[in-house]
Amino acid sequence: VSAAAVAPDPLRVELVAAANWVADYLERLPHGPVTRPLPEEHRRRLAAAALPETGAPLSALRAFVQNDIAPWPCGNGHPAFFAWITSPPAPVGIIAELLATAINANCGAGEHALVDLERGVVATLARLAGMAPGSGGVLASGGSAANLLCLAAARTWAIDRYGLGGRHPADYDAVHTRLVAYQSAQAHLCIGKATALMGIPSARLRAIPCGPGGGMDPAALRRAIRADLRLGLRPFVVVSTLGTTATGAIDPIDAVAEICREHDLWHHGDGAYGGLGRLVEELAPHYAGMARLDSLVVDPHKALCVPIDCAAALVTDPRRLRAAFGAQAAYLDNGAADWPWLSDYTFELTRPGGRALKLWATLHTLGRTGIVELLTRYQRLAALLRARVAEHPDLVLVPSGPHPVVCFRFRGADDAAHYELVRRLQREGRVYLASVDLDSGVALRACICNFRTDESDVEALVDEVARCGRAVCTDEEKAHA
């Protein structure tokens, strides 16, 4: 037996050790604090990123992660994490990411099984969301990027439609300088970033007021469009938010679709968070009109817990994405006519295969039933939280939902006390939630988007908020005495 045959392969040894470390880490995570703030000095050391003169062995990485990264969790892996919309990683997604990295396919250029898998899994997502048959698209890094892709497709469509294809620069400019986009006042900030990047000034992105349920007021939308048409402007897209970030509200999809049909506008759905809501029985009535959307964003790295990053830009007529992003170059051969490269549907050329594989793996591990059960579970836990808050003498519900976002206040505490309450809870590390600045004042905001969260975490959240709220109020009284 040669020495080479018995010497352990360092890559194999380290892969196995890393896999064991991952399993231990995930097992221990729920038993530690939700978060732990990084010491200032450690932050400085990491940010200085000194490069050693000589290279380190493979095993140095695991030691580094164990000692310098992992002790300070950012929270979203923990079952008692209720802040924002960041979920823990689905276990199969972690494995998929590793496997895809080993394959390291470029899913932007050329052909590969993972490219076809991306085509398929994106179509599956569009079907799950209730889009029209034939819908497809591409995966992107997040909702921010995916919204930009869809809005760019809408812009190219509008130039085609209203500007004679924009083949002559004057035709292009004549339309582009008049384009107006619409969103609700509760839309995500990334819509404004996307339109700004597209050269549409913020003054031509209208924020339509919301009705009492938190969704866009369709009558106000219609009035705004008519007013812009009278000014000679060119309305081209309305963004409906399906699950607002602040309160989990849903814009009236079907009513907005009708207005878009009347005025020949592109209707885009920002469902980064709530794009799959129609699968949940109690949310389904809000989702009439999904098949009328022209495009939709869904972030599987939110509600489905696919590891970051994974978002989908879905377009009813995928050729619209290609019209916006298809490009030729002398140094590239853009594939067979029937199988255009995915880089023709987005601004990325080199693209990871891990997004498709971890999404496919997560969907296939859950199955359709598992997906519905997961989303329904969030609703059930949010209902429990609403009930506990409603019956608690110190807590007051603030209108939110129908997605599983629960907003509430501590009775008698002012805005500053709410910020202090949140800071204290975050510092103590037993449960973690965020605040939200609503028209009615600052509220506590718990978002349930975590397959690890169960009833006991919800009960702990209520107990901790009540305890911490009383402590903050007592301290304030003492300060004023």
Ligand X SMILES: *Cc1c(COP(=O)(O)O)cnc(C)c1O
Residue type, 424: R
Is 188 a binding residue for ligand X by CB under 6 A? The answer is: yes
- Residues 244-273 vs ligand X: string with x where CB under 6 A? -x------------------------x-xx
Is 143 a binding residue for ligand X by CB under 6 A? The answer is: yes
The DSSP symbol for 432 reads B
- Residues 270-289 vs ligand X: string with x where CB under 6 A? x-xx----------------
Is 142 a binding residue for ligand X by CB under 6 A? The answer is: yes
Stretch of residues binding ligand X (CB under 6 A), selected from 87-95, 120-128, 141-149, 159-167: 141-149
Closer to ligand X at the Cβ: 126 or 421?
126
Query: Sheet of 295-298: strands edge to edge?
Result: 136-140, 311-315, 295-298, 266-271, 234-241, 179-184, 205-208
Beta bridge partners of 33: none
Q: What would the two tokens of residue 295 be?
A: 């495009």
Q: Measured from the CB of residue 418, what is the shortest distance to ligand X in angstroms?
A: 22
Closer to ligand X at the Cβ: 143 or 354?
143
End-to-end CA separation in angstroms for the chain: 83
Is 144 a binding residue for ligand X by CB under 6 A? The answer is: yes
Q: Measured from the CB of residue 152, what is the shortest distance to ligand X in angstroms?
A: 15
Closer to ligand X at the Cβ: 150 or 323?
150
Q: Rule CB under 6 A: choose which of 299, 344, 348, 420 binds ligand X.
A: 299
* Other residues' Cβ atoms within 10 Å of the Cβ of residue 287: 23
Peptide bond into 309 cis (omega under 30): yes
Is 358 a binding residue for ligand X by CB under 6 A? The answer is: no
CA dist., res. 141 & res. 120, Å (int)? 18
Residue in 385, 368, 361 with CA at minimum distance from that of residue 433: 385
Q: Measured from the CB of residue 61, what is the shortest distance to ligand X in angstroms?
A: 27
Residue type, 455: E
Is 85 a binding residue for ligand X by CB under 6 A? The answer is: yes
Is 346 a binding residue for ligand X by CB under 6 A? The answer is: no
Q: How many helices (H) and strands (E) would you count in the chain?
A: 15, 11
Stretch of residues binding ligand X (CB under 6 A), selected from 136-144, 157-165, 166-174, 467-475: 136-144
Phi–psi pair at 393, nearest 5 degrees: -65, -25
Q: What kind and span of H or E run contains 3? A: helix 3-6
CA dist., res. 432 & res. 451, Å (int)? 16
Q: Measured from the CB of residue 295, what is the shortest distance to ligand X in angstroms?
A: 13
Closer to ligand X at the Cβ: 208 or 421?
208
Closer to ligand X at the Cβ: 35 or 241?
241
Stretch of residues binding ligand X (CB under 6 A), selected from 137-145, 192-200, 231-239, 256-264: 137-145
Is 458 a binding residue for ligand X by CB under 6 A? The answer is: no
Is 241 a binding residue for ligand X by CB under 6 A? The answer is: yes
* Strands annotated E in 186-345: 205-208, 234-241, 266-271, 295-298, 311-315
Is 307 a binding residue for ligand X by CB under 6 A? The answer is: no
Residue 256: C-alpha distances to residues 251, 261, 271, 294, 468 (Å):
8, 9, 15, 12, 43
**Which residues sit at the interface with ligand X, rule CB under 6 A?**
85, 142-144, 188, 190, 241, 245, 270, 272-273, 299, 311
